[in-house]
Amino acid sequence: MAFFGAYAVLGPNGLIALGDYKRQLVAREKQYAALDQRRTMLQNRVTLLDPRHANPDMVDELVRKELNVAHPDEVIVPLK
């Protein structure tokens, strides 16, 4: 009985490991929130680049960046 009691407290899935699991959960939730925010941003950019109705400002920004005509200090101001 003592062995099973000690294992329940000190084992890899015991009560002491519970605190570590909670810390890992908090870290993973923060990581998930950051990834979800990044996914939302990327999803918005994909929507703006939809070939059926692409946003002209987004297309212009990407073309200028890819062709290396935009300067790093340049600010692109949308007209609408």
SS3 of the chain: helix, strand, coil, percent, to 5: 70, 0, 30
Structure tokens at 57: 């400002």
Quote the pTM value: 0.56
Mean pLDDT of the chain: 83
Percent of the chain clearing pLDDT 90 (strictly above): 26
Q: What angle do CA 26, 21, 16 make, to 5 degrees?
A: 135
In the predicted structure, residue 32 carries a pLDDT above the cut 90: yes
pLDDT score of 39: 97
| Close Cβ partners of 80 (under 8 Å, ≥ 6 residues apart) | 57
pLDDT score of 42: 92
At 29, the pLDDT band (50, 70, 90 cuts) reads: very high
